[in-house]
Structure 1
Amino acid sequence: MDLLSSVGYALAYAAMGLAVLGVGYLVLDLLTPGRLGEHIMQNASVNAAIVTAAGILGLGGIVFTAIWTNGDSSFGAALGWTIAFGLVGVVMQAAAFRLLDLITPDDLSKIVTLPGFHPASLVAAATQVSVSLVIVACIA
């Protein structure tokens, strides 16, 4: 493979990875009240930042693993698998967040947007990462 092809593939994978991360962020934004970016940037919500960071790191791990394990197949197939597993990660993270919200006594979606630290944000973050690790294990 020549340098130009390698750079092209890297750009395509990076663009697709950014798209998956963006979709993951938007889905989490839909699951929480208000604008997630405002909670993080204007309200300095540590909770929102912790949960968002965990979700993005988890999705990044899924995208990385999908690219790494499918790199020997054709570019189109590898990119397709990476998109598919990335979207599965987004859906499963959202489902896990909603399930955790249902089984906790208070409204988790509101708690994770509070400005002051709340321990529930760590549980929500761990759930995001754990779901991602399960998907990574399925890929590998």
Structure 2
Amino acid sequence: MLADLTENAYAAGAYAGVGVILMIVAFAILDLLTPGKLRHQLWADRNRNAGILVASNLFAVAIIVTASIVASEGRLLKGLTYTAVYSAIGLAVMAVTFLVIDVLTPGRLGELVVHEETHPAVWVQAVAHLGVAIIIAASIL
């Protein structure tokens, strides 16, 4: 029992570490796709649009990491590999989705994200991020 607890604690720490790193990467990608500094938009300007987009992106990464853990069937190396590979795919597809929505809709999505007033297009992008994560999670499982 103690061996299982130790092994599970190690796995939880490994998944959490990889998950946090992937969330940092997801934040950095969003920062590149939006004008200005996303950190400033969130914490100094308290921008709701930026908050919605970042929250959906982080939640999307968590969905993919969770599916990777479940699909690994208790094998840590397999799970961490799934997490890295499928999260990279998810982040790339989320970035492409951002760019596609930006091209297909009027205005600039990045500018709407940093706008002071809440904009429906940000919710559309947020749901697109979650949709991508759900699709990738289903492909893993």
Q: Unaligned stretches of 5+ in structure 2?
A: none
In 2: Cα distance, 1:64 partner to 1:133 partner: 11
1:87 aligns to what?
Answer: 88
Task: Give the match for residue 44 of structure 2.
Answer: 42
Conserved? CA contact 1:39–1:115, under 8 Å: no
Deviation at 1:80, TM superposition (A): 0.7
**Deviation beyond 3 Å, 4+ runs, structure 1:** none
- Listed one character per residue, the Cα deviations across residues 79-137 of structure 1 (whole Å, up to 9, x for unaligned) are 11111111111111111011111111100011111121111111111111111111111
Deviation at 1:76, TM superposition (A): 1.3
Counterpart of 1:15, as a letter, is G
Provide the residue aligned with 1:119 in structure 2. Answer: 120
Partner of 1:107: 108
> Number of aligned pairs?
139
Q: Verify the 8 A CA contact 1:65 1:139 in the aligned structure 2.
A: yes
- The amino acid that maps onto 1:131 is V
Q: Which secondary structure state, in structure 1, belongs to the residue aligned with residue 118 of structure 2?
A: coil
Q: What is residue 78 of structure 1 aligned with on the other side?
A: 79
Q: Give the letter for the 2:36 counterpart.
A: G
Q: How does 1:10-25 map to 2 (within 5 A)?
A: 10-25=12-27
Distance 1:2 1:64 in 2: 20
> What is the distance in 2 between the residues matched to 1:71 and 1:32?
38
- TM-score, structure 2 length as denominator? 0.93
2 CA distance for matches of 1:2 and 1:49? 38
State the distance in 2 between where 1:78 and 1:114 align.
Answer: 39
- Cα shift at 1:2: 2.8
Q: Which runs of 5+ in 1 are unaligned?
A: none
SS in 1 for 2:116: coil
Which SS does the other structure have where 2:126 is aligned?
A: helix
Aligned residue type for 1:117? T
Give the superposition deviation at 1:71.
Answer: 2.8
Query: By how many angstroms is 1:138 displaced?
Result: 0.8
Measured in 1, the distance between the counterparts of 2:101 and 2:123 equals 12
Task: Give the secondary-structure state (helix, strand or coil) at the position aligned to 1:2.
Answer: helix
